[in-house]
Amino acid sequence: MRFAAIADIHGNHAALKAVLDDIAALGIRDVVNLGDCLSGPLEAAQTADLLLLLDPEAVATVRGNHDRYLLETLHTEMGSWESDAYGQLAPRHLQWLSRLQPSLVFRDDVFACHATPASDEVYWLERVSPEGHVHLRLLDEIEAMAAGIEQTLILCGHSHVPRAVQLSDGRLIVNPGSVGCPAYEDDHPVFHKVENGHAMASYAVLDRSDGAWAVQFRNLPYDHMAMSRLAASRGRSDWALALASGRV
C-alpha cells in the first residue's frame, strides 16, 4: 500500500499543483488530504477548483479548523485568514467544504484527522511552552490522544511541522508538513511561531511493505516568490515573508 499525505494547503494553488504533479510523477494515485485547504490571502478559488477536480475514489479529505471557520463564522467576524479567502469562494466550494468530516479511516488501515481526534485546534505532536517555544510533545500525552485508534498508521496536520512519532505499541503518527504555508505566527494557546526555514512545498509518501510503514518527507521547489508577491500585493506582509523564506 502506497499513498501520499498532504495537509495545510491554505489556498496556495501553485504549491498544490507542484505537489500533485510530483505525486503523479511517482505513479501514486491515492491521496489523503488532512485539511485547512483554502484559508489565506492567496488563490482560494483556484485551489478549491483543483481539489474538486481530483478523483473522489482516490482522494480522501478531512476538514481542518480553518475549513470549519469558513463555514461557521459570520463573514463580518472572520479572522484575516478566512476573510481573505471567503470573498473568492463560490457556493460550490463551500458546499464541498461542508461535506468534509473531521476524521476518517482510509483503506481500513489509516486513521486521519486534521489536528487530534478530539479537536481540530490542538497540536497532537507538539507542545507550546508558556514562553512560546514549540517542541515535541511528551510520549504519554501523544499516546493518550491515540487511545482507541486501531489503525497502525495515524495522520495529522495542523502544526505545519513534518514529523513522524512512533508509539510504544508500534503505531506510527505522521504529520506530512504543510503544502502551502511554511511559517506562521499564532496566539493560541500563547504567542508562538512555527518556522520551517525553507519556502518549499512539503508533503509525505507513505509506503507499507512487510507490515512496516516507511515515510518519505518531500520538499518541492515551486514559484514561491510569485505567491510571496501576491500576498504582498494584498497587504499581507507576514504571508509574503513566510512564503519567501519559511520564516516569520
Describe the chain by its helix, strand, coil percentages, rounded to 5: 30, 25, 45
Q: Is 43 or 82 the residue whose CB approaches Fe ion more closely?
A: 82
Q: Is 85 or 213 the residue whose CB approaches Fe ion more closely?
A: 85
Min CB(83)–Fe ion separation in Å: 17
Q: Is 47 or 65 the residue whose CB approaches Fe ion more closely?
A: 65
- DSSP class of residue 57? T
Min CB(158)–Fe ion separation in Å: 4
Q: Which residues of 31-56 are buried (b: 16+ CB within 10 A; e: fewer)?
A: bbbbbbbbbbbbbbbbbbebbeeeee
Q: Is 175 or 213 the residue whose CB approaches Fe ion more closely?
A: 175
Cell triple for 35:
485539511
How far is CA 122 from its chain centroid? 13
Q: Is 157 or 246 the residue whose CB approaches Fe ion more closely?
A: 157
Q: Is 115 or 172 the residue whose CB approaches Fe ion more closely?
A: 115
Min CB(183)–Fe ion separation in Å: 14
d(CA 173, CA 144): 13
d(CA 116, CA 101): 13
Min CB(67)–Fe ion separation in Å: 9
Q: Is 37 or 227 the residue whose CB approaches Fe ion more closely?
A: 37
- DSSP class of residue 119? -
What is the contact surface with Fe ion in residues (CB under 5 A)? 36, 64-65, 158
Min CB(114)–Fe ion separation in Å: 6
How far is CA 136 from its chain centroid? 18
Count of alpha carbons within 13 angstroms of residue 208, beta-carbon side: 13
Min CB(197)–Fe ion separation in Å: 20
Min CB(1)–Fe ion separation in Å: 26
Element (H, E) at 52: helix 44-53
Cα dist from 24 to 27, 40, 174, whole Å? 5, 26, 21
How far is CA 222 from its chain centroid? 17
